[in-house]
């Protein structure tokens, strides 16, 4: 480890104030020595010169160390880079201007970054619309394309020419055109009333007007008004979406998902988490539905790929679409998140996942059907576990409470501020306390009852009731799906086991008065036996298969109305509507308190660079390649190699199986141009970039804006990062681009794709 790294790992554990005081003392003394004004006099001129040289060395180490102590925190808005970030970026070594990153008149890096599938990020890496993202981001699309005979998830796939690229039904990618600040217009439109429904209608009206003005007659653009800083600021976000997206290739799961659940959210990491797609457009390069007449998309900008590798303290920048953070979260919400949201998620998903995994291991068809469902569930399940653990370790509740105390003292110091912000925290606390019971009930409804696929199918495909379904803001959104798509990935026996387990758990945790009506049927007609009820439910319902559903839809509609699964789904929907309506009184109070609290924080910290919470809009984060020390006596290096893959290999554990061809390449050291200078094959590396869910697949770029990797995970010690940034511990885990190209080329045999890339060596 270099001297600066040692200094960093030691100093970071100290209180910043103490470090600054000590550093000031040493700097003052060293400067005096260097100037010859120090009281320390050494007769021997050579010795005196050596002291000066030593002083220079120590001075440089201290200055460097202080620089590395700066928290590279922030998910920054691209239009504000020139004002808030570019000078600091230059200080740590970036060679980019603000316009190189975001420019609405000329091509810039933002034009090479896209929102992938609505929940991930990707980047364009060729002039023919070749797209790189994570394996887990493409997972659902790859799973849909797979069959037991052609299992692209398990075995991987590479198209060797354009006509072998596979259309990915339902997959879209979205480009950012520009941001427009519309705070003034929106604020004026909604400030006339405080009544929630009237404000909502006014917001919709002004949003529609602003959108029409922004996009004009351009049918390919879309606009939406997005809230920032808790409704204290608004931007119009203008985008363009492409829907003809084709699967180009990905490694087998033994590489793309190496380590699976065990290694998820962990470092050291050895996962080749990447996949490639291609965007197609019409002859004029505009968005178009799938057609054999479409051609590869020609981007405004694509990223140059760097094979130069990474070193400790190298500048690193990430641009992407982070989903949600809550960095202004109060202590009351921390408690609610830990004790309600996370606790219920951990319990219920754990029960369901055990059922799914047992069936997936026993049958290849079920494994393929439930691979994406299981991965989506387990990812946040493990994150919830880690979040609760780090909440406690980092004393997040206490730290938030201390911030609230500071805020309250600042408010109370000025009568005008008391008038304006005096009730902010009280309103938030009152709303959180008031909604606690409802949050528990709704969370169990969503995690347990809404996870039973049979009743979900009835909700999707059954006749709809022509009644107001109530406020479904807490409902899990359903992805549009045809019966054929649904039943392709549905196993009756597995769902029956899930239903028995989750209905029993729900009954145990939720009071009788808050259970849906079908629990009365369980008691009256099945003597309280949930197993017997489930057996009858699955026997009698037409929603167990596509064939039965089709027959029912063409038959007697009264018969369909009496379907037990449809009745159960309506019981659940009615209960959700009722509880969501009760929750509304707390939503408006919370929103008002949160808005005032954030507005007060912004005023209290006026003059400081502050970023808004993530909300699935494009953001930039910058920092460095950096190792870290999770606990005393332990330091994690910033890079992993193929050596670690071989060390983790376990042929008896599906999570750590290593393909024979990869072992052969390792044995012969056939790494080509992708090896490190010492001959090893890099796999992943760490940066201290500030990311969250939605950043998966984001490009990690060097000082010149060249692609050096793709972000795919965070480390275990930073699981509370959506709420609080911990600079000494938070790390972003990235696939090294050299490993990506090595697997594509040497392992997958798709080296021809290199011909369309721009590579810097």
More confident position, 11 or 387? 387
Q: Roughly what angle, to the nearest 10 degrees, separates helices 16-35 and 45-69?
A: 150
For residue 652, pLDDT over 70 is answered with yes
Q: What is the pLDDT of residue 558?
A: 81
For residue 11, pLDDT over 80 is answered with no
pLDDT tens across 741-753, in order?
999 999 999 999 9
What pLDDT band is residue 40 in, cutting at 50, 70 and 90? very low
CB 305 within 8 Å of CB 758: yes
H or E stretch including 586?
helix 564-604
Give the dihedral sign, CA 265/346/631/58.
positive
What pLDDT band is residue 199 in, cutting at 50, 70 and 90? confident
- Kindly state the percentage of the chain with pLDDT values over 70: 88
* Beta carbons within 8 Å of 654's beta carbon, 6+ residues apart: 260, 361
- d(CA 301, CA 171) in angstroms, rounded, equals 21
Q: What is the pLDDT of residue 46?
A: 46
For residue 414, pLDDT over 70 is answered with yes
Q: How far is CA 466 from the centre of its chain?
A: 36
- Kindly state the percentage of the chain with pLDDT values over 90: 85
pLDDT tens across 487-508, in order?
999 999 999 999 999 999 999 9
What pLDDT band is residue 472 in, cutting at 50, 70 and 90? very low
The whole model's pTM is what? 0.88
- d(CA 666, CA 357) in angstroms, rounded, equals 31
For residue 34, pLDDT over 50 is answered with no
For residue 544, pLDDT over 50 is answered with yes
Q: Give the lowest-confidence range in 10-19, 130-139, 154-163, 689-698.
A: 10-19
* Beta carbons within 8 Å of 1's beta carbon, 6+ residues apart: 9, 627, 635
Catalytic residues: 136, 273, 696
Strands 305-306 and 759-760, by their bridges, are parallel
pLDDT tens across 287-321, in order?
999 999 999 999 999 999 999 999 999 999 999 99
Neighbouring CB atoms inside 10 A of 500's CB total 19
What pLDDT band is residue 43 in, cutting at 50, 70 and 90? very low
What pLDDT band is residue 551 in, cutting at 50, 70 and 90? very high
Domain definitions of the chain by residue range:
3-69, 98-172+243-324+615-760, 331-604
* Beta carbons within 8 Å of 405's beta carbon, 6+ residues apart: none
SS3 label, residue 274 = coil
Residue 488, token pair as written in the block: 């392709």
For residue 68, pLDDT over 90 is answered with no
- The whole-chain average pLDDT of the chain stands at 90
CATH code for the structural domain at 98-172+243-324+615-760: 2.40.10.120
Q: What is the pLDDT of residue 209?
A: 96
């Amino acid at each position: 480890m270099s001297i600066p790294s040692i200094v960093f790992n030691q100093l970071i554990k100290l209180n910043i104030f103490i470090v600054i005081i000590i550093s000031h003392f040493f700097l003052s003394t060293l400067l005096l020595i260097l100037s010859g004004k120090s009281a320390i006099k050494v007769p021997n001129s050579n010795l005196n010169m050596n002291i000066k040289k030593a002083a220079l060395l120590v001075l440089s180490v201290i200055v460097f160390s202080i620089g590395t102590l700066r928290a590279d925190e922030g998910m920054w808005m691209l239009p504000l880079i020139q004002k808030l970030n570019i000078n600091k970026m230059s200080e740590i070594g970036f060679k980019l201007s603000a316009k190189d990153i975001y420019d609405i008149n000329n091509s810039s890096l933002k034009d090479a970054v896209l929102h992938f599938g609505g929940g991930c990020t990707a980047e364009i890496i060729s002039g023919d619309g070749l797209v790189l993202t994570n394996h887990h981001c493409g997972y659902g699309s790859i799973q849909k394309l797979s069959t037991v005979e052609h299992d692209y998830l398990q075995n991987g796939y590479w198209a060797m020419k354009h006509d072998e690229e596979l259309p990915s039904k339902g997959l879209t990618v979205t480009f950012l055109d520009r941001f427009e600040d519309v705070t003034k217009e929106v604020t004026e439109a909604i400030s006339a009333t405080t009544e929630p429904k009237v404000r909502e209608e006014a917001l919709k009206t002004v949003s529609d007007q602003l959108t029409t003005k922004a996009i004009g007659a351009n049918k390919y653009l879309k606009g939406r008004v997005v809230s920032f800083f808790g409704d204290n600021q608004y931007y119009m976000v203008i985008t363009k979406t492409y829907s003809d997206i084709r699967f180009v290739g990905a490694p087998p799961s033994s590489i793309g998902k190496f380590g699976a659940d065990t290694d998820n959210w962990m470092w050291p990491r050895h996962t080749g988490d990447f996949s490639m797609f291609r965007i197609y457009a019409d002859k004029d390069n505009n968005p178009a539905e799938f057609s054999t007449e479409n051609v590869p998309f020609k981007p405004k900008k694509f990223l140059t790929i760097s094979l130069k590798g990474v070193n400790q303290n190298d500048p690193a920048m990430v641009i992407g679409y982070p989903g949600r953070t809550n960095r202004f979260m109060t202590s009351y919400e921390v408690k609610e998140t830990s004790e309600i949201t996370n606790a219920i998620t951990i319990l219920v998903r754990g029960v369901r996942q055990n059922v799914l995994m047992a069936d997936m291991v026993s049958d290849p068809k079920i494994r393929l059907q439930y691979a994406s469902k299981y991965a989506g569930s387990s990812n946040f399940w493990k994150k919830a576990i880690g979040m609760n653990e780090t909440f406690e370790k980092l004393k997040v509740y206490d730290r938030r409470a201390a911030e609230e105390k500071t805020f309250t003292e600042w408010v109370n110091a000025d009568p005008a501020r008391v008038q304006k912000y005096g009730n902010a925290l009280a309103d938030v606390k009152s709303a959180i306390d008031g909604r606690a019971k409802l949050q528990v009930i709704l969370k169990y409804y969503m995690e347990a009852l809404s996870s039973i696929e049979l009743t979900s199918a009835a909700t999707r495909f059954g006749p709809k009731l022509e009644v107001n379904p109530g406020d479904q803001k807490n409902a899990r959104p359903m992805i549009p799906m045809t019966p054929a798509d649904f039943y392709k990935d549905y196993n009756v026996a597995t769902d029956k086991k899930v239903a028995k387990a989750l209905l029993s758990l729900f009954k145990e945790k939720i009071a009788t008065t808050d259970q849906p009506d079908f629990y009365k049927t369980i008691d009256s007609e099945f003597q309280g036996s949930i197993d017997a009820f489930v057996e009858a439910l699955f026997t009698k319902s037409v929603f167990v298969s596509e064939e039965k559903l089709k027959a029912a839809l063409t038959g007697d509609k009264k018969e369909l109305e009496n379907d037990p699964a449809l009745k159960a789904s309506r019981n659940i929907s009615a209960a959700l509507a009722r509880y969501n309506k009760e929750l509304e009184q707390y939503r408006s109070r919370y929103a008002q308190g949160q808005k005032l609290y954030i507005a007060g924080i912004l005023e209290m910290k006026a003059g400081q660079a502050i970023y808004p919470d993530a909300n699935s809009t494009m953001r930039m984060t910058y920092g460095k390649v950096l190792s870290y020390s999770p606990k005393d006596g332990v330091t994690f290096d910033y890079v992993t190699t193929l050596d670690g893959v071989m060390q983790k290999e376990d042929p008896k554990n599906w999570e750590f199986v290593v393909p024979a061809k990869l072992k052969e390449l390792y044995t012969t050291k056939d790494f080509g141009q992708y090896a490190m200078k010492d001959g090893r094959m890099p796999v992943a590396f760490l940066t201290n970039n500030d990311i969250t869910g939605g950043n998966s697949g984001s490009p990690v770029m060097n000082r010149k804006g060249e692609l050096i990797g793709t972000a795919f995970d965070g480390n275990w010690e930073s699981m509370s990062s959506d709420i609080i940034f911990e600079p000494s511990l938070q790390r972003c885990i990235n696939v090294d681009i050299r490993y990506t190209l090595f697997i594509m080329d040497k392992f997958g045999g798709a080296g021809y794709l290199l011909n369309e890339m721009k590579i810097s060596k």
